[in-house]
Amino acid sequence: MRKTRWLVKSKNPLTAPAISHCLSRVVDRKFVLGEDEREMFRMFMRMYENFSGCRVLSYCLMSNHFHILLEVPPMPEGGLSDEELLRRLRALYPENFVAGVAGELVEAHKSIAESSGSIALVEAIHARFTYRMHHLSEYMKGLLIRFTRWYNRKHSRTGTLWEERFKSVIVESGTAARTIAAYIDLNPVRAGIVSDPAEYRWSSYGEAIGGGKKGNGKKARAGLVRAWKCTEGVCFDAELWPEVSRLYRRMMGIALDKKAGRASVVKTGQSVRKNAAELLASADNETSLKDLGVAKMLRCRVRYFTDGAVIGSREFVNEAFVNARERFGPSRKDGARKMRGSGVVAAAGILWSLRDLQKSPVGEAAANRGVRC
């Protein structure tokens, strides 16, 4: 029997949303996701985003795996209006199907007005679809099944495409969310595919900069703004992208100017040039962890970000531990574990993990340190 996924109850969904870092790999880790496949996956990802009410904050689609940082807000109080339900259905279903559901709703309301029916009729129509909304597992299940069916038809194959049940790590809003968003966008840099994440079009940052094949990048920009500013009560406001993009690039350790990593500052009336490292190492570089080491850390494979179960402040991780106390033996007194290894020095005392990855599966190179560079 599968264990239920970790749960951290949000005290304020606006400023402390439920966020998860989701990851899945192609079976046998084969490199089968070409340009057409990645474009189609992104299209399905956005379709299910529009349908489910879940929001993608950051993502990266590689040739044999993907990462998605997903916010799962609660269902609105009182549920969805009929109009909102129909709008969401249009993200997945053809217009004739949506028209059929609209007709059912009209008839249900008519029977209520004539006292021959009850509101339960309307609720039953909504329930056929809303159980799949505002739900992490349902979002991922729908996305992966839809893409697998498309992929199997295109390549005349059958069977599963993904090697196992998708992984998910609960991520605290604020510093943890910003850090993991950048970690996700830096996947193609770590893989040696590009030197600047802006050059990789199948990622949230690449889409935000380049617009994607069929979009203007607004949704990607809005997602990254939310990842960066949700603790300030800021929703998905793409208009704040100019401010966030500057901070985001600093956090990733990427030069702020296109001219070989240089940025201009004015000192004593003269123009002074600073290189990227000097700028990032300044006393207040406005990044999440406020340290040049974060850029170095994000260029390593940090297992905590994919296997740590819960990532965030010590208080946040301990709250998750209390909510899932039955999963642990009586000898364990709290949940928060330090991230170990030289590669995660920048996160020391700021980010904590629920799992101690010193004890790692056999065969994971460098797993005892939780970091692989």
- Residue spans of the domains in the chain: they are 82-130
Count Cβ atoms within 10 A of the Cβ of residue 113 and give its class: 0-12 exposed, 13-18 middle, 19 or more buried: exposed
304 within 8 A of 339, measured Cβ to Cβ: yes
Torsion sign (Cα): 326, 142, 311, 30: positive
Say how far apart CA 224 and CA 208 lie, in whole Å: 8
58 within 8 A of 138, measured Cβ to Cβ: no
196 within 8 A of 188, measured Cβ to Cβ: no
Backbone angles phi, psi at 331, to 5 degrees: -75, -20
What is the strand order of the sheet 19-25 is part of?
55-61, 65-71, 19-25, 167-171, 310-312, 352-353, 337-338
342 within 8 A of 297, measured Cβ to Cβ: no
Residue 144 token pair: 């992966």
Q: How far is CA 88 from CA 23, 80, 92, 292, 324, in A?
A: 25, 10, 8, 43, 33
Q: How far is CA 146 from CA 92, 105, 151, 156, 161, in A?
A: 10, 27, 9, 15, 11
Report the pLDDT value the prediction gives residue 146, as an integer from 0 to 100. Answer: 97
Q: What is the pLDDT along the chain (373 residues), one digit of tens a residue?
A: 455 555 555 555 444 578 999 999 999 989 999 999 999 999 999 999 999 999 999 999 999 999 999 999 999 999 999 999 999 999 999 999 999 999 999 999 999 999 888 899 999 999 999 999 999 999 999 999 999 999 999 999 999 999 888 999 999 999 999 999 999 999 999 999 999 999 999 999 999 998 755 567 999 999 999 999 988 877 888 899 999 998 898 888 876 544 333 333 434 444 444 444 544 444 454 556 765 678 888 988 999 999 999 999 999 999 999 888 888 888 888 889 999 887 888 898 899 999 988 654 444 444 334 666 6
Coil, helix or strand at residue 228: helix
Of residues 59, 224, 217, the one with CA closest to residue 139: 59
Torsion sign (Cα): 228, 230, 233, 234: positive
Report the pLDDT value the prediction gives residue 44, as an integer from 0 to 100. Answer: 97
Of residues 64, 57, 270, the one with CA closest to residue 178: 57
Report the pLDDT value the prediction gives residue 160, as an integer from 0 to 100. Answer: 93
Say how far apart CA 188 and CA 202 lie, in whole Å: 10
Say how far apart CA 335 and CA 321 lie, in whole Å: 5
Say how far apart CA 291 and CA 298 lie, in whole Å: 12
Report the pLDDT value the prediction gives residue 368, as an integer from 0 to 100. Answer: 39
Torsion sign (Cα): 324, 55, 308, 144: positive
Model pTM? Answer: 0.86
Residue 124 neighbours by CB distance under 10 Å: 12
48 within 8 A of 92, measured Cβ to Cβ: yes
Element (H, E) at 167: strand 167-171
DSSP states of 69-126: EEE-PPPPTT---HHHHHHHHTTTS-HHHHHHHHHHHHHHHHHHHTTSS-HHHHHHHH
